[in-house]
Amino acid sequence: MPKEAAVAEVKVIFEGASGEKVAGRIYLGRPYQKGPGQWACPVGIEGMHEKLPDIAGGDSFHAMCLAHWLIKNRLETFLSNGGKIYRLNDKDVSTFSLHFPFKAYFYPDQA
C-alpha cells in the first residue's frame, strides 16, 4: 500500500509498555471537500494503528483541527498506558536518541 501523502509528518519509534519497539509515522494529509459543507482530512499514526478513517469537519480547517485532536488523544492514551515515543534521528533510523517532545507539539504554552 502506498504511503499517504502528508502535508505534515514526523517519523517516530513507538515503545510499548512491555518494551517492544515499532517504527512509525504520524501525519496529517491535505483536507479535501466531500460535498457542500463537508470536508475530510486524512490522518495516520502508522505503527500504532492500521489506516484511520479520514476525519470529517464542516470546513477544511475544522477537519484538520479535529484530525490533529485525534492524534493528540491517541498519543496521550499511549503515553498514559506506559508507552514511550522517540523521534527518529534524520541520519540513522536505528538511533532512538530523542524523546518525542509531546508538549511542544500539543501544549506549546507548557513546553
Q: Average pLDDT per run of 10 along the chain, which is 111 residues long? A: 74 92 94 95 93 95 95 93 82 55 76 62
pLDDT tens readout for residues 56-86: 999 999 999 999 999 999 999 999 999 998 8
HSE-CB at 2 with a 13 A cutoff on CA atoms is 3
Q: Are 86 and 96 in contact (CB under 8 A)?
A: yes
Cα separation, 99 vs 111, whole angstroms: 13
* Whether the predicted model's global pTM rises above the 0.85 cut: no
Written as one letter, the residue type at 41 is C
Q: Are 63 and 39 in contact (CB under 8 A)?
A: yes
